[in-house]
Amino acid sequence: MTIIDSLTQTISLALNDLYAIGQAPADIVLQDTRRDFKGDYTLVVFPYVKQARKSPEAVGQEIGSYVKERLDVVDGFNVIKGFLNFEVADSYWLQFVCEKGKDERYGTKQPDLESSPVVVEYSSPNTNKPLHLGHIRNNLLGWSVSQLLAANGANVKKVNLVNDRGIHICKSMLAWLRYGNGETPESTGLKGDHLVGKYYVEFDKHYKEEVKQLMESGVEEEQAKKDAPLMQEAQQMLKRWEEGDSEVRALWEKMNGWVYAGFDETYRRLGVGFDKVYYESNTYLLGKELVQKGLDMGVLFRKEDGSVWCDLTGDGLDQKLLLRKDGTSVYMTQDLGTALLRHNDFGAEQLIYVVGNEQDYHFKVLKLILGKLGFSWAEKVYHLSYGMVELPNGKMKSREGTVVDADDLIDEMEKTAEEMSREHGKNDELSAEEQRHLYYILALGALKYFILKVDPTKNMLFNPAESIDFNGNTGPFIQYTYARIRSIVRKAGESQDWKSGDEKLNDKERLVIKILHSLPDTIEAAAEAYSPAMVANYAYDLAKAFNSFYQDTPILRETDPQLKAFRVCLCAFVAHALRNTMNILGIEVPERM
């Protein structure tokens, strides 16, 4: 039983015995005591004053006395207006370090592989362009949420849905046929996804020129966009693809093959992966079957032009297109098929989609249509909606070629990591190979931490230079703190032994231990909120508190063997906690730096 459990249970008894107030321990909220007050945990007594018919100060004194008499681990208390601050005895904190300090998995739970899985879909790229900065946030968030849920005991399955068919793919294919002169990744030296993305931009350039010419001849803009020959040809190519045209399919397979190889390399560099990959080209037909089922049930309807829709006006939305008039499918069609396939594959406890907030409406519609089709598990669909990533110079647009490619960003981050490391002298004792690996993990640590420390629901501005600073709330700062701790433990000897005695804690030690104590609750709360940001900021708080302790408190220079052993044990404990939290974020921590 933790100190929090002991306090809330005893406070519950106090409320009942002193004032006949029935309040369950689970409903009693304790806060960390403010740093400028003496104490560890604070109870706000104002909610009980009216029923107690006493002043806040009197209620605080009476509850404080009641609890102190019954709990040996409470060393004292003080009351400031309506705030009751409990002081926890050093013996409790020392015993906690003694019991948990050597647990290398501290704060995390073993995943229950017998339970129904939680399926997390992320990445979901289109095969007409390389992964860019926006995809990076998606991939890092999806991977980290998966790690977070697993650390909280869930059986997690990571999946990817590759959008490998559709009008956007046909645009790249058509542009390559028209303007590519047979270019390949081998002949150009370009990664396959970059080569295909080049022709997506090329299509847009020529398409805009055609629209401009039509408008100059008197055609309205909206009509010109529909009538442009390139767009007409791309739509015809999509129709031929769905009809199984062998020539179109062969080109599609070749160009998609280039993209898949490029994606795999980027995923490897980002350190993310999947348990299963789905392809839209394999799921859209199942979606079409569900559309037919909906027509048969009377849930969907067909318009005069042959297109199929779902009327959601009764649900406060509008009508949603599911099949175009030429019979080709839309994103919603394949998402219906994929959801059913995924449910059948895993019997999932929950289906989590990590997708940007511009798709909020799409997922409301998906849940509604699945429900109307009679699937009771539709309520298990959860859209983990996240904000957009912008650069200091504004938004990115793939079709205009104004994106920051993931590969280019990683290259730039590695270069910056090398420059910063050399400047700070962080790599002098490492071999050339160790240095290269250090630059890579610092670069990825900076990138991942900077993105994941922001609440997923918020838009964010990514600043590469700011992200890789060795000071402040950054990944490299935490990585350096870990490496510093590992150096201390190595110098002290891994076999340092310590058993809880009667040591007196200073304020810096106490703060470090209190933060360590809160890790299991932090991971649980972060998992419930699907927020790696809570874990990231916990890691920073712990690293910051440790560095303050390190600056003011002798460790290896301590002359008292018992006290030295305790402090080394505390250092090792902090290292375990930092490694475990950074692992949830997908960040490697270096043993040396």
Three-state DSSP state, 347: coil
User: Nearest 5°: phi and psi at 335?
Assistant: -65, -35
pLDDT-derived band at 389 (thresholds 50, 70, 90) equals confident
pLDDT of 212 > 80? The answer is yes
Q: Which two tokens stand for residue 333?
A: 């069609």
Reference 138, options 528, 460, 472; nearest CA is 460
Q: Which two tokens stand for residue 315?
A: 């649900």
pLDDT of 141 > 90? The answer is yes
Three-state DSSP state, 276: strand
Quote the mean pLDDT of the chain: 92
pLDDT-derived band at 505 (thresholds 50, 70, 90) equals very high
Residues of the chain with pLDDT > 90, as a percent, come to 81
pLDDT-derived band at 398 (thresholds 50, 70, 90) equals very low
pTM confidence score: 0.90
Rounded to an integer, what is the distance from CA 122 to the centroid of its chain? 10
Find the mean pLDDT for residues 135-152: 97
pLDDT for residue 393: 61
Cα 455 to Cα 175, 230, 452, 533: the distances in Å are 39, 42, 7, 5
* Cβ atoms within 10 Å of 8's Cβ, excluding its own: 21
For helices 246-270 and 229-242, the axis angle rounded to 10 degrees is 90
| One-letter-per-residue 3-state SS of 494-556 | CCCCCCCCCCCCCHHHHHHHHHHHCHHHHHHHHHHHCCHHHHHHHHHHHHHHHHHHHHHCCCC
pLDDT for residue 328: 83
The CA distance from 284 to 328, in Å, is 10
| One-letter-per-residue 3-state SS of 354-400 | EEEHHHHHHHHHHHHHHHHCCCHHHHHEEEEEECCEEECCECCCCCC
Opening angle at CA 129, ends 584 and 438, nearest 5:
40
At 40-85, the pLDDT tens digits run 999 999 999 999 999 999 999 999 999 999 999 999 999 999 999 9
The CA distance from 388 to 438, in Å, is 29
Domains and CATH numbers, the chain: 3-88 (3.30.1360.70), 122-390 (3.40.50.620), 419-584 (1.10.730.10)
pLDDT of 466 > 90? The answer is no
pLDDT-derived band at 401 (thresholds 50, 70, 90) equals very low
Tell me the Ramachandran region of residue 430: left when phi exceeds 0, alpha when psi lies from -120 to 50, beta otherwise. Answer: beta
For helices 507-517 and 561-584, the axis angle rounded to 10 degrees is 40
Q: Which two tokens stand for residue 96?
A: 């906690």
Q: Which two tokens stand for residue 462?
A: 């990514």
